Structure 1
């Protein structure tokens, strides 16, 4: 019974820790995800790219998230291999710094964090402030989960089983290395796994020597997490994560080979504490960055030989946007399979629309005819997607689909129409505005450009949420997406008011670009409305959306009664 209680308490504390780390990461991604993406693709210097990876991992509290971002941009051709690898390595060092920060004993701050974070989430009407509230609540929950973790381990420390396991791991450092690697991969979070190891050492449940072996294994296991998470990407795009895994593996195995020497060094000396373990973790990752950065180009050659592929990364990008439908006609007689096929095609269509919208601010400020033509060419591919989806839905045998399934098919077709309309907004409205802006040599005012850029970034961050709703039909995410649409409307109204105020103050740049600024705001709002439309069927199905906001039955006034009399 004691063992069962220990396992349940330990699992609960660990799950709370994983949830808390994810809460912080999603809050930051939703608040500034597009800004992070924009920052990453600008990196060219390896040192600055590595520092960017450090900063991003500290903010997101996840080196795996940084690796996924870098791999995505590398696949799209926005990052070179060397720059991407520098960012990934920096992310690993950043996660080590996160562990050092979270290890401080600051229990007194938990209650204020919960109060401030809860107020921001519940009471604030600002989207950004609500996401900051999620981050603050997540940090508080991380500290709480670490406390629960210590409490869960404490009663079991005096039992016969835990000291036996700890003694075995201390003697067999290879087994401890393997356990550390499996623990980290199983938790899918190097931050959470290493915090667990450090907590065990801190309360003397595990010796420093065993903790050191577990730590080295955890560093090796963390390299497998992005490899697993990118398993759906083309082989060429995974060169980054495999390069990171091989670099970590080589250094981890080297440290593993000298562990007996390190263990013998501490014999007869005072037992180092968890602080020394954290220092060792940071030294490991800093050494990995310093040893790997000078050889990035050589590593790229090795990765190309190991994963040559049939196409270059840019060719992969071009292949991804070719108008080749993923709809499978053979699934049409089975509703579940047909809906899966439809959603896959809609995801491809959503990706095309996102790729059209991504360079929008750039074509205003630094556009050329090739960029505009590329966007309009993608619009033709979006139209081809709609044609395929419309034909697929039209050929559905109605006798095999019940009323609810027919409604789902209709909703998916409706969203395809909305996505096609979103593509038209970019190809016909926004590009025309950008061309006019460039031909006339206009310049936005500093404030006006910042407002448009912020709105553009917030809309980009909604694509991931829309894809999530499309796949999962999750009412909570659908509600959040609907709220994000309302937030974009609010941002558009505020920007319009500020623009008119600048006109009243006589700002010349605002006068010149007034029409384009206002029409761009309106186009952004319309575009976002089309992307967010996937939320409506889910909200309606769960009773969270009314058919109309009009009052259907008007009250009869006494005056009207008298007139009728």
Structure 2
């Protein structure tokens, strides 16, 4: 092969792999934006049954095209105490199986699927006014591009089958399974998608480029790499959440290493998994994760408890550390840098309020004086941050700001005020409501508590979206945030109607907690509105916001 042909080959493979990675991310983004609330509801309903938890993990991973995305979502539930670490581990084991099923589905297609999926997807995305329909369009476009990228890989690798140099390199990987395993884990980590990595390896095996033993080792290595992605993404999560993710890493990564060693000793066993190399490699991935889930599910409690002994509780370690501020006094004579410092401080403020909201929900079920005091202390700290931020922006304005910087300064001050109000609602109203439930020995009706829990989840999801908008200033996400605010208002009205319906039925629990129920819904709606403020300046700048709703 001459240099020109080699360069064309490398460009073709790199381009096809890049398209595959991006297409998988496109599908995941569509599901996260369009159906994340439904996924969160699945996880909440699976809290009391490990088999249902594993099933919900399978379904979520199929929709999200990623077990890593499931791990991040479940991490939020474990952090706020909505589900136990053992249940979360059961969901992750199911998600690993779901991710393996995804790779099976993406290798089976008909020629008409690509144009059909692309046609419907583009039509939905460009023509639909409904946000959910647009995300369905995004998902269909992503699926069609996955198929296109796999065809590109097959076309690019076709001429390489008989190349002596290729056969020599790939033959070495077939003899050195440890190196193949490490390459598989590293590639999955680099592309941040075990699905994309495994599809690439299996396609190369199907083209007879990659020996079966090497493909099997790389597929198993990608399982370790996929588990490592979730581990790194949740490093700052709570102890319980990290315990769950580390347990999954130990099980999935350790199991992958063990099976690789077993294959090195008994390579003929792969013939049981299919008649063709590609089918054998992809079936190995599914069989490994399915076997791991079956063997580990009965012991998820024991495994998570054991692993928890070796996971450091960073919250406890950091208790003695002094809080730091992003408001750098030395930046006051450099307005743009000063505004960036204020924006960073505002983001930290929003993250602290998010943690307050996560901490207050369990108090509606079981009152804990220490947790309540922690929320009050955090509110006091946020009030001080709000004051410091206003004074910092005022001092920044003394040096003279141009129109754009002055507008940005006012936006930051207004957002700080809205977030401060959200913190006050949690500490003053919601904490008071939880205390009244405890002091009067009251409980919401089962339906009422479930509705409030689901509404909590919806608002928390919107808060996370708002924090993303604060970081990236993305007009598309800002538009999604404002649309979510409108939807929260409609959902709140619907839940109020449901509550009134239970009052008409004469349910004692609903009557006793009526005011507490309605005030909680209103408080959550106000908190959501406080965070949604961050989207308006971005939409005003992009021209997506009407100046008035009056006709």
TM-score normalised per structure 2: 0.81
Deviations 1:274-313 (A, max 9, x none): 222222111211232344445545544553453344655x
Question: Which position in structure 1 is the counterpart of 2:472?
Answer: 472
Distance 1:77 1:528 in 2: 21
Q: Answer whether contact 2:85 2:240 (CA < 8 A) is retained.
A: no
Question: Which position in structure 2 is the counterpart of 1:167?
Answer: 171
Q: Answer whether contact 1:226 1:241 (CA < 8 A) is retained.
A: yes
Distance 2:446 2:227 in 1: 45
Q: Answer whether contact 1:208 1:271 (CA < 8 A) is retained.
A: no
Match of 1:14 among 13, 17, 28: 17
Q: Structure 1 stretches of 5 or more lacking a match?
A: 552-565
Higher mean Cα deviation, 533-542 or 189-198?
533-542
Q: Answer whether contact 1:325 1:385 (CA < 8 A) is retained.
A: no
Higher mean Cα deviation, 328-337 or 87-96?
328-337
- Look up the SS of the partner of 1:395 in the other structure: helix
Question: Which position in structure 2 is the counterpart of 1:326?
Answer: 325
CA shift for structure 1 position 257: 2.3
Distance 1:209 1:435 in 2: 61
CA shift for structure 1 position 193: 0.5
Distance of aligned partners of 1:515 and 1:348 in 2 relative to their CA distance in 1, 3 Å threshold: same
Higher mean Cα deviation, 462-471 or 28-37?
28-37
Distance 2:520 2:262 in 1: 62
Q: Answer whether contact 2:80 2:359 (CA < 8 A) is retained.
A: no
Distance of aligned partners of 1:437 and 1:31 in 2 relative to their CA distance in 1, 3 Å threshold: farther
Distance 1:106 1:299 in 2: 43
CA shift for structure 1 position 189: 0.5
Match of 1:262 among 255, 263, 266: 266
CA shift for structure 1 position 194: 0.4
Distance 1:285 1:169 in 2: 23
Distance of aligned partners of 1:453 and 1:133 in 2 relative to their CA distance in 1, 3 Å threshold: farther
Distance 1:360 1:305 in 2: 27
Distance 1:443 1:107 in 2: 54
Deviations 1:439-484 (A, max 9, x none): 89898897x9998777654433222221111011122222332333
Question: Which position in structure 2 is the counterpart of 1:561?
Answer: none
- Look up the SS of the partner of 2:184 in the other structure: helix
Q: Answer whether contact 1:236 1:308 (CA < 8 A) is retained.
A: no
Question: Which position in structure 1 is the counterpart of 2:40?
Answer: 37
CA shift for structure 1 position 142: 2.3
Aligned residue runs from structure 1 range 126-141, under 5 A: 126-141=130-145
Distance of aligned partners of 1:44 and 1:443 in 2 relative to their CA distance in 1, 3 Å threshold: closer
- Look up the SS of the partner of 2:266 in the other structure: helix
- Look up the SS of the partner of 1:125 in the other structure: coil
Distance of aligned partners of 1:401 and 1:155 in 2 relative to their CA distance in 1, 3 Å threshold: farther
Question: Which position in structure 1 is the counterpart of 2:530?
Answer: 530
Distance 1:231 1:336 in 2: 31
- Look up the SS of the partner of 1:122 in the other structure: helix
Distance of aligned partners of 1:79 and 1:520 in 2 relative to their CA distance in 1, 3 Å threshold: closer
CA shift for structure 1 position 261: 2.8
- Look up the SS of the partner of 1:307 in the other structure: coil
TM-score normalised per structure 1: 0.79
State whether structure 2 residue 188 is matched by structure 1 residue 184: yes
Deviations 1:80-128 (A, max 9, x none): 4433333323222221111112221233333343344334333333333
Higher mean Cα deviation, 88-97 or 34-43?
34-43
Distance 2:292 2:242 in 1: 19
Distance 2:527 2:239 in 1: 34
Distance 1:74 1:515 in 2: 29
Distance 2:91 2:499 in 1: 42
Aligned residue runs from structure 1 range 90-101, under 5 A: 90-101=94-105
Question: Which position in structure 2 is the counterpart of 1:343?
Answer: 343
- Look up the SS of the partner of 2:534 in the other structure: helix
Distance 1:453 1:307 in 2: 29
Aligned residue runs from structure 1 range 218-367, under 5 A: 218-233=222-237, 238-263=242-267, 272-297=276-301, 299-300=303-304, 302-309=306-313, 324=323, 326-330=325-329, 332-333=331-332, 334-335=334-335, 338-355=338-355, 357=357
Higher mean Cα deviation, 199-208 or 29-38?
29-38
Distance of aligned partners of 1:517 and 1:294 in 2 relative to their CA distance in 1, 3 Å threshold: closer
Q: Answer whether contact 1:481 1:535 (CA < 8 A) is retained.
A: yes
Match of 2:59 among 49, 55, 61: 55
RMSD of aligned residue pairs (Cα, Å)? 4.3
Distance 1:232 1:336 in 2: 29
Match of 1:69 among 69, 73, 87: 73
CA shift for structure 1 position 192: 0.7
Q: Answer whether contact 1:323 1:381 (CA < 8 A) is retained.
A: no
CA shift for structure 1 position 18: 1.9
Distance 2:218 2:143 in 1: 25
Distance of aligned partners of 1:104 and 1:393 in 2 relative to their CA distance in 1, 3 Å threshold: same
Distance 1:307 1:175 in 2: 29
- Look up the SS of the partner of 2:399 in the other structure: helix
Distance 2:376 2:149 in 1: 51
Distance 2:435 2:240 in 1: 36
Distance 1:190 1:500 in 2: 45
Match of 1:150 among 154, 169, 176: 154
Q: Answer whether contact 1:329 1:392 (CA < 8 A) is retained.
A: no
Q: Answer whether contact 2:174 2:214 (CA < 8 A) is retained.
A: yes
CA shift for structure 1 position 416: 0.9
CA shift for structure 1 position 534: 0.8
Distance of aligned partners of 1:343 and 1:271 in 2 relative to their CA distance in 1, 3 Å threshold: same
- Look up the SS of the partner of 1:59 in the other structure: helix
Q: Structure 2 stretches of 5 or more lacking a match?
A: none
Q: Answer whether contact 1:107 1:143 (CA < 8 A) is retained.
A: no
Distance of aligned partners of 1:97 and 1:265 in 2 relative to their CA distance in 1, 3 Å threshold: closer
